[in-house]
Structure 1
């Protein structure tokens, strides 16, 4: 009897423990403010999940750290649900959702509508016509009618309203199974925001279509120049032959881009943009009881309907490796992918763990065996989680002399180790510890909260499972990981894509159609805008920094310590900041990078990486032209252990000749690869334009100097680093005095600091006439930067420069974007901004940019030059820009360690106050005349250097000479090696 009773008690105890584990994170229901919602117990974000009567999902995650709200309006439909004969349609629609309705975006809807209806019919004729001559005639009529319709349209009225209410980051994106509209708004603008969004989604009008279609053409052409995108599309095509993940691309085929149907787009909207298929996700400063009532009132008009089900044939098992090849000008690389179940499964969560075991930045198999040992230039493994299926991606870049098959063999050897369990027994627990820290850091950000909630919503992931993820992960055993790896990672069940360096002979660009620029009516305003502006918006008092009050000061021995206390959690971040960079010593950045491959007498480099990862800690040394910063971070409970570990490494690292030889080989390959990268080439041209032939970009070691580096020379630099004067910056739970006392014992420095090496000086040049710097690159696009060095930094210019940037060249409501993209359809991406120097005594800079098709380069340059010489004037546009500047400052909260770097930034400029305070006060007094005067003084009729990266096959010498004297520096001149 006693034995039976004991057994019963044991069983009850076990059941209770199991039940407690199951209910620790459980869905619960509550009612507040008249609305019922669900929530997950133990959820640190305190998120509420509502379902309105019409089926609309509303997810609210309140946090009052900043008076702003990250908003996502998500539709569970994307390229996966595009009709097979109209691929790219979801993405088209995303672009058109910014064009307005019958209430806004139109000067006269009654006159505009018949013309838009005619355009609808013309596109249907265009699509059904195969005779090219007839198609051209129809397109001429489309272009003509579009011009007539545009006279009644107001371009970018949506963006202007968002800007006026203080919105930031107004944008949208489309992927396989989601189309998401994103806004970051002041919490005071909720009523305006919801009124605008409810109208936006009520009945969108597909106006100004053919110029927006041309912007999508540009986006397609940019994709044709993107080797990474081409490799991924080839990978998905092979991995998912039965699913639209592989059968269709988000941006669509060229054939479908050339033959759009507005009626098909509109049908897609009515099929999928219904409340039971949408979610409003908000995270930030609000009362959820008040917010849910507002959302329900604004979106309650939407009517639910059955959403077309997406069906697909299950993928057949991969029984032998599926191989693809992709060619392009970028450096070669290799990708291997294995197929896994979809996002809502436990296997997808296990896949995320496997990805961390392979790559976590410190102690993964790829990290230790391939990156740390420098067997590859770079290597990574990461999960790609989608609703229907997921994938494990392995990506590797070869060092010089390696073939892509060598890369393949090295990565697959690590997969074999995983399957055999040849990884640390405590690695899973270390991953758990690091993910716990990561969750703490994510939850600090209202934007990250909203992003996580939105991703789970569109991917069909149960939020409870996500919240419980760490708890579940901590119970996973090594044996389970090994069994999982052996189940899915077989020798023959993968797809492999060889990205080879060379000409892509399959590229067919989207040709430029003849487009007559359309009227954008920039200075006009619909009645709806007045309605929005009249809605109440409680002003938010701006908070400016007081460096004396907001920063604590102490000493850590002879080192000055600046500190901001973290009163929210256990995270700390510690910095050592040196006023010394590569201009003082060209070897300094190489030494900083070399440290990651070194050990000490008592610990190998691998041991050190594992030790940092176990502590959930990180370290990094970054070197810029004029500064070097050591960054150490982790949990405060491990502060002493983390700092001690780093200090020991820095003071006692040992020269390793083999590591240096491998490091040099990787550097040489990286340097070769940089010469194949169009962005790096453009960066070099821009530096050339700013400083001349000898500039900060090519202030690097020559090939000979690189060969002559000695391991001991680099180690000596590291050993002596703490001997140079520096300050310490700390953000964490302790006070400055506590931190200073602790750091004085851990951070060993001399009584007297060594003087910095004399810094090399670079002087900005100011050409008296226009000039062109051209670099040849095999690409469909042409990329142009206008560069001009301005006068020395002057804090008095800040307010006017900020307003000019907002009104003239920054964002999609700006003059530059409206004219070059909206009106003339000459670019997918374009901007212009006046950039103030980061340091007193240095020059400001003006930069303008257009990325366009090569055959539109001349038109694009002409369009930008017209704006640089004659700024269009719109009083209403200026007021919206000024509102955006002021409301952005009102709601900006500089917090955490950003306070410390804000102070250092001000100090570099010779300021002892928060410059935002002056900008806020001055901006209210600035007029359109002030901005015009600034534009005319700084930009109008000035000489510019045109930095152009394009293909010589598509851009002629005669065209380049139109803009100034032409120089074509070779790659050795641009890069310095």
Structure 2
């Protein structure tokens, strides 16, 4: 018979080279992949038998053959096969899995025939010498013992035994000490005869060879290989799991090994690409959700990961974690760690990841495939794997086609389908020195985790009101405010929390300003430069926010980059590293700014007033800090402060622009939901002093002009009286206001004079400010007092009030044009518990105020007998200490 006379040949296109697949007359599948990338060839023989095809009395026999087939043949003695390969500069090895056994040689392509000869000889003519078998079984016993000494392997096997009750995947590939001890040559040879037949095998060649030459060599060494048609073993199917399965064991080990699994379909199933994406998002790399939350933020584990194991038949989705019990932290107890791991895992069934996460996962999966083809050995392995697992080496193309189509909704769907409570299996291997963990407690942890996630589900069908607003209180997460505005394809978002100057002390003054600058100087995922480049490449902007009462982060960008921007936004807030060298740089710059303020007499005057008026209250501190506080601050202080401030339950996130509500809710849940986050108490804040008589403070400066601030107690932020005070401010200020007309135009006391409220949550001030010549100080102070007294004797007229209302309402409406302004305003109003819609009612509130309302505020707060005056003046100017007594 002529070689190849009856071959049925099919050609597959596999970029950048072609794959040829055909079947010999004896039923042997041949796959040839020529590629000239290097003068190397990989020769594989795959046998479609693994440990899952064994009878109970054969447990471990598939693995025994991996050891024995290189132990000599009729032509080659023990060790000669390996020596021949190594003398040709190659290497030979094998592996066994649940589904198949693979024997492979990698060597210079000039010795390809040698490789095929040796593989064919080993596969077809192994001698199975009884003495060699006895020695090799001893080696396998040592391999079993080594596995028993590896807690990670023991825990994983424990998980398989728990997850599978019927399917042979529950049994160890290597067998057991008892089963291996029972084997003899007859058992090994009978197994070989049953499974090692051409129709159950595939030869794979990849590398630098000519196709015709390879076909001829395969025919020469495998064409006359005889054997019956293979009768595949019918494996028992695993029944559907209907409840949580657990196994808790103890050993003399140092740390806990937690393993969780969920049944998933076989490798060829259409859901596998989405499950692979889910495994990357959940537990692969430093950007993985479980790593960021469980390991990095909550510090519950030393290591955590997830993976999707998809063999020829139904596989498992894994989550694994290793950790040590800390007796000082109850949350490191195994039952609690399991609960937290499952809470974050189950949550993916309710919340879709964002597109950025999906793209990141897809890129990683595709890159693994590409990198795997860098070597000829990797290329051959990939071809053989798909042939044996899916029955078609071209299945890889279908897999990646499906992978490219995976959407965030697909990832959520497979999570909801497979990562279910009743599909959960748990194995815990813990140190015998720790308290024993009961199966019941593990079951309860799983049930509690599932119940918590179900209880915390946010209605994804949130509907905007007539003004485009939605407010969502996310359990274990922030309060979210969304206003949809599709007029322009942009968005702006803010994450805000109580903080700022109000949360500082004399020793930490300036902390919030430094932290706001440092937030974008690098994260655990992105360097400062990488972050800046990524943000700028999307024409976006991001920066920290620090004020008198709040701290936060803001970002603005184009709608088409919303997911990418949100990923960066969350990464900065959750993962800012605040590097030491950047801290030193920013602190140095802030010290320079602080010193430069001494050249600004108005700024020095304000700080003198604030110290006096607010006393021990933090509003008294310079917002940039002091020389002493900045010198003593450390980067670790900033990290500790940030860890408290970004507590999800205390955040308000506001998003305004061309965004989708449901998707935004999902993103916030994905990045900012943290069950069991410890509550952070507000620091004790000293009250501001009260003044029962006029108070004067002065400070000489080496300057030409004098600066004066006269201040009065004022209503707190958010009160109706504060609205009235704004109208009073407008009556006094501006070029048509009383102060400008009387003190500038008529008396020529200053170039600029204005009123300005300092509105706070604990204390507020209403100030009048003026810069004047030193010789006019007394006239300016008396002029300010006269205008305040005039307010009391001649309250604002209806005309003045109407003008002030029109001015304020118009300015307010103009100021809310930009998404960024609205996101900030809505967020702060919600944070201060005034309601996010408060700014929308501004015009109505002001319009409703009457002259009587203003007069009551004037009478209550603007009392010249409680006036605090701060004056900075040239050194040679003398200030009358009795200036306020007249």
Q: Which has the higher contact order (CA 8 A, sep 6+)?
A: 1
Question: What's the TM-score bracket when you normalise by the shorter of the two chains?
Answer: 0.3 to 0.5
Q: TM-score, normalised by structure 2?
A: 0.48
Q: TM-score, normalised by structure 1?
A: 0.44
